Amino acid sequence: MTESDYRVWAPRASKVELVLADGSGRSEHPMTVDGDGWWSPAADVEWMPGTDYGYLLDGEGPYPDPRSRRQPEGVHGLSRTDDPSAFEWHDADWTGLPIDSAEIYELHVGTFTPEGTLEAAAAPDKLEHLLSIGVTHVELLPVNGFNGTHNWGYDGVAWFTVHEGYGGPEAYRRFVDACHAAGLAVIQDVVYNHLGPSGNYLPLYGPYLSDAHKNTWGVSVNLDKEGSSEVRRFILDNAQLWLRDYHVDGLRLDAVHALVDDSPTHLLAELAAEADALSESTGIKRLVVAESDLNDPVMFLPREGDPRAAGAQGTGYGLDGQWSDDFHHAVHVNLTGETAGYYADFDSVGALAKVLTRGFFHDGTYSSFRERMHGVELDRATTSPWRLVVASQTHDQIGNRATGDRLTATLEPDRLAIAAALTLLGPFTPMLFMGEEWGASTPWQFFTSHPEPELGEATAKGRIEEFSKHGWDPAIVPDPQDPETFRNSKLDWDELGTAPHAGVLEVYRRLAAIRRTLPAGDDLTLADVNVEFDEDARWLVLSRPSIVVIVNLGEERLDAGTVARVAPLAGEALLDSHAVLHGPTATTPDEAAGRPAGVAARSVVVARQQ
């Protein structure tokens, strides 16, 4: 199927009729089926941009097109045709950005600006702000169609659409075009592991779901049972939609551990191969990164036939990288002291040191939270650490807390600076969550806008029950359906110029400037990263080619003698977070020697490696 016809895959229907609607009324047109379950209208039915349409399935409906490009009246309304070829792109000279030195910025369109639109997010001052903190790739949380006005995006049901509240497909194209003009790449977060609870008409058309496998959200998407070939094509074509038609530079795949696939070739390997083929044909690299909690390099190891395999048999899916939550957990515990739930195993400076040098903490070790062995050890000599995307804060790690509180709610700017330095100057690909760069005080809470009262009530009740099990007071859990919960989560851009936010922002900008001087990530393996630490004194020294990062997590200052002993490779001081946040003090670099004169309590010093 192309974007300019009305064909539809509906093998479960015995009769399908195309419904067309315009200002003069509605017309119904019979469709005929081929042997593969695809229905087509008569040849004299002309496809026109801007036409509202839907399908009657055995007389019921009309229902929206599973591949609809627009849903102007919401996910329950008629679809509307959209002609992507009509948009005038201005990015013909865009050649993409290297992914081994990327800095990703996770952004939710609805709460990034007061307006909550793609147009507002693409404003020159917003893009200039991102460039000032070293961002190379803007990662949008899911933008596809969901029921209601606001949502995180992970309850989408119309995968080929752009939410009308954000501006629809035309605004999305303008956003990508503006990012490319500013020198920013775009990554789109996509959800292929489940569909939302309202507006999912796919099962009426065909076997899109299968109860042969279960996941957190119930039945799984059908990747390996009867009819799965077309379901897989549905997903692969959706990936192509973003990468080809919308010119995006990459995809972030949500929770791929929930994509159960017993096919000879895993869907992820197919998706990576098609993205690589598009990259080859256009000369612009399209990256694909997985969110996975498996701690398994199978995600990014070369697949069979992948040029990276260099003649060796492929052993992986060939994606470009994957998230590593172990980094987040280790940083979070060492800065906050929280040890409940999945944080329990990370309660040591040693855990942080292991993550920095080995990528995963659980790499075949026992996970007390899972109550089993977990993870696979990475080959330090061959693994490029940029293939792991890490963050000290993400939409999940903040929003899935009872009150949606950021690190800012419990940590002073000094500790926020440590988190920033470990994220931006560690060996991995860093990702920032919108607002963290100035220590935003606004929370990021779980919000929904289900029009169905019973669904809204069930969502709120489930949220309270979930946190009650973890010992949180139900009274503090915001109602996801309350519009104020959504409004509370919008960033307050007026904070940037006020204390202490301006100081935190300055730290991020200086760290970004240092990061830009580092060699490309492909020149680095995990074996090139060294960490020394003291569990009792709570300091850690990270050494990688070019720089030394001295982190003092403790309550006592490290004097110059101690620094010279624990960080003998530290040369010219490049950043002292305490000096940036509090002004010149005795902990500022010794200008005569050029080396750090010490490291204040709860602060970080970055020095050039001798």
Per-residue pLDDT averaged across 386-404, rounded? 95
pLDDT, tens digit, 9 for 90 and up, residues 122-153 = 999 999 999 999 999 999 999 999 999 999 99
Residues of each domain in the chain carrying CATH 2.60.40.1180: 529-609
pLDDT at res. 423: 98
Q: Check pLDDT > 60 for residue 35.
A: yes
The pLDDT-based confidence of 311 (bands split at 50, 70, 90) is very low
* Residue 353: its H or E element: helix 349-358
Q: Does domain 8-86 have CATH number 3.40.350.10?
A: no
Residues of each domain in the chain carrying CATH 2.60.40.10: 8-86
* Residue 457: its H or E element: helix 453-469
Distance separating alpha carbons of residues 307 and 302, to the nearest angstrom: 8
Q: Check pLDDT > 80 for residue 382.
A: yes
Catalytic residue list contains 254: yes
Residue 530 CB partners (closer than 8 Å, separation 6+): 357, 542, 543, 544
pLDDT, tens digit, 9 for 90 and up, residues 103-124 = 999 999 999 999 999 999 999 9
Distance separating alpha carbons of residues 478 and 491, to the nearest angstrom: 17
Please give the class, per CATH, of domain 529-609. mainly beta
Higher pLDDT, 598 or 315: 598
139 within 8 A of 105, measured Cβ to Cβ? yes
Q: pTM of the full predicted structure? A: 0.96
Residue closest to 104 by CA, chosen among 361, 494, 437, 505: 437
> Which of 139, 189, 254, 396 is an active site residue?
254
530-546 burial, b at 16+ Cβ within 10 Å, e below that, comes to ebebbeebbbbbbbbee
pLDDT at res. 592: 43
Q: Check pLDDT > 60 for residue 588.
A: no
Q: Check pLDDT > 80 for residue 12.
A: yes
pLDDT, tens digit, 9 for 90 and up, residues 68-112 = 999 999 999 999 999 998 999 999 999 999 999 999 999 999 999
Q: Check pLDDT > 50 for residue 560.
A: yes
> Which of 291, 306, 325, 345 is an active site residue?
291
pLDDT at res. 277: 96
pLDDT, tens digit, 9 for 90 and up, residues 450-497 = 999 888 888 877 777 777 656 667 778 899 999 999 999 999 999 999
Q: Please report the beta strands in 397-493, taking only residues with DSSP state E, as ranges in sequence order.
A: 429-433
166 within 8 A of 143, measured Cβ to Cβ? yes
Which CATH code fits 104-447+478-507?
3.20.20.80
66 within 8 A of 202, measured Cβ to Cβ? yes
Distance separating alpha carbons of residues 292 and 375, to the nearest angstrom: 11
Q: Check pLDDT > 70 for residue 250.
A: yes
249 within 8 A of 187, measured Cβ to Cβ? yes
Catalytic residue list contains 230: no
Per-residue pLDDT averaged across 408-412, rounded? 96
pLDDT at res. 308: 66
Residue 392 CB partners (closer than 8 Å, separation 6+): 328, 331, 332, 407, 419, 420, 422, 423, 436
pLDDT, tens digit, 9 for 90 and up, residues 365-379 = 999 999 999 999 999
Residue closest to 218 by CA, chosen among 204, 200, 237: 200
Residues of each domain in the chain carrying CATH 3.20.20.80: 104-447+478-507
Per-residue pLDDT averaged across 229-240, rounded? 98
